[in-house]
Amino acid sequence: GPQTAQSRGCPSARRSAQGCLRSQRCRSITTAASIRTCGSASRRDSHRRRVCRCSRHNKLDSHRRARVATGALQKGTSGAMRVVLLAAAAAAQTALDDTTIRTAVRLWLGNATARAEAEGTWGPIAQWNTGAVRDMSELFCGLDETPTHHSFCDSYNVGASAFNDDISGWDTAQVTTMHSMFLFATQFNQPLNSWDISKVTDLTSMFEGKAHEKNTYNQPLDAWDVDQVVALDSMFYASAYNSPLNSWQLGTPSISEMFMYSDFDQDISGWDVSRISSFLKVFAFSAFNQPLDSWDVSSATTLESMFWGASAFNQSLATWDVSQVVNMLGTFSQASSFDQNIDSWETTRVTSMYQMFWEAAAFNQPLRSWYDDTNSRGVHVVVNMNYLFWKAAAFNQDLGWCVNDDVDLESAFFGTKCAAGCIFGSDCASLSCGVARGAVGTCAPSSAPTPTPSKIPTPKPTTSYPTLSLAPTGSPQPSTARPTGRPTYTPRPTPRPSHAPTSLADAAEVAA
């Protein structure tokens, strides 16, 4: 009768459900609608059995519902029903948070037993309920198996390098950071364009690959809303990424090393970079060769190594306003194809041109306008021109500059046509491509490279050459969100220009 049924399942007699209540894992029935279902013994009984189960049974049941929903989707359901089924599939899974999602991923990337445990708890990875997750940083960070470095993530997963499961259905609407999310996950290449990243502020190193193995990711991301992102540093470092991104509306991000060592060669002329101050190594050693003349770089203070080793790049930059730039260290170093006229650049604030055209083999453009004694315009405040045109083999210009006596011109013109007799290791004062030195206003630039008595004894020819160190140490570094301790990759694609060789004794073999 009614009394028996009530003891089985109605809210007023919950103590009868001892197995569930003791564990506190049973879903309770407290709403008016739920109580109304206890109108008869049979309804009370069936409803209670359906809803009030211990968590083990609820979990199995939720996974069963998720499989049903997924099966329906796989059969081609579309429209409103598809939305309903997607919601049902997500709701059927145990919700993940910032802590449990790391446990879940670690199990999923483990052995078969661990993966089975993850699936038994949270379901298939494609259906994980990630709606409450805010931090996805380093989630699939892999292991860089080099002699000197394993990983620079706080936590990493050995199995991440082979990960390539579809997670396009994840709910990322609450996520704020994806820093290093797929760092060294070199095989991952699944669509993510549907992700809502409107709250994400950090995409640093998200798809970064290894020096000896690029990240293969190359899926469209043009639908992403990145206007809240403040860090795009190294996002595609050493990656195969080469898909359109011109639709991105940038906020005020740091983009240092964003495409370094990457295959990226897409039009991004539509980007608003007017609030970006640092372009440190953005295209270094990349395949990039697209127009950038429409960029507003008027806020830039450093162009350090921006096109270093970008061997394909040869686009006009004549319209750029670089009047705020103080650091042009290595800007076109080893950019072997670059030969564009940048004589219009305002270089009044620049203090370092160290290695600016180092081994820029094709460059041979006039730069006379970089010096104007009448208006104190140009290279007046530059203190370091060391290795400025080092082995820029095609360069043969009369610069017509007058620089201060204390400006470092060591080997600035070694290997150029306009200083063919320059002996390595000297400042080549007598063969200076039209550059003279003296106190401000006391020297008149020559109209042609005219030999003058050297200020230092001419050293005997030598076969000993300096080695340029592989890591700049003396220039201003931008503030970025990158983790500290970036590994020294081995092998490096090419030697990296240094900021300042301290002496000839520091050297070894670059000039051969």
Q: If residue 70 lies in a helix (H) or strand (E), which one and from where to where?
A: helix 55-74
pLDDT at 405: 84
Q: Give me the mean pLDDT over the 192-201 stretch.
A: 98
pLDDT at 212: 83
Domain limits for position 16: 2-53
Residue 22 lies in a domain: yes
Give the residue from 260, 279, 506, 500 showing the smallest Cα distance to 390. 500
Residue 277 lies in a domain: no
Residue 212 lies in a domain: no
Contact between 308 and 284 (Cβ < 8 Å): yes
Q: How far apart are the first and last CA of the chain?
A: 100
Residue 295 lies in a domain: yes
Contact between 342 and 365 (Cβ < 8 Å): yes
pLDDT at 209: 94
Amino acid at 88: A
**pLDDT confidence bin for 154, thresholds 50/70/90:** confident
- Tell me how far CA of residue 222 lies from CA of 193, 197, 218, 247, 248, in angstroms: 7, 12, 12, 6, 7
Beta strands in 300-407 (DSSP E): 371-372, 377-378, 401-403
Q: Which of 11, 29, 53 is the last residue of a domain?
A: 53
Percentage of the chain lying above the pLDDT 70 cut: 63
pLDDT at 23: 37
Token pair belonging to 149: 């470095």
Residue 190 lies in a domain: no
Size of the chain, expressed as the number of residues it contains:
512
13 secondary structure, DSSP code:
G
Contact between 245 and 217 (Cβ < 8 Å): no
| Mean pLDDT score across all residues of the chain | 77
pLDDT at 398: 94
60 alpha carbon, distance to own chain's centre:
41
**pLDDT confidence bin for 437, thresholds 50/70/90:** confident
pLDDT at 316: 99
pLDDT at 341: 99
How many domains is the chain partitioned into structurally?
Answer: 2
The yes-or-no verdict on residue 169 having pLDDT over 80 is yes
Q: If residue 478 lies in a helix (H) or strand (E), which one and from where to where?
A: none
pLDDT at 298: 98
Least confident interval from 415-429, 430-444, 474-488: 474-488
Residue 68 lies in a domain: no
Token pair belonging to 304: 């350090």
The yes-or-no verdict on residue 63 having pLDDT over 80 is no
Give the residue from 268, 271, 308 showing the smallest Cα distance to 286. 308
**pLDDT confidence bin for 247, thresholds 50/70/90:** very high
Residue 102 lies in a domain: no
Least confident interval from 241-250, 374-383, 492-501: 492-501
Residue 247 lies in a domain: no
The pTM (predicted TM-score) of the whole model is 0.71
The yes-or-no verdict on residue 67 having pLDDT over 90 is no
The yes-or-no verdict on residue 194 having pLDDT over 70 is yes
**pLDDT confidence bin for 498, thresholds 50/70/90:** very low
The string of pLDDT tens digits covering residues 101-135 is 999 999 999 999 999 999 999 999 999 999 999 99
Give the residue from 492, 495, 491 showing the smallest Cα distance to 507. 495
pLDDT at 441: 55
The string of pLDDT tens digits covering residues 292-333 is 999 999 999 999 999 999 999 999 999 999 999 999 999 999
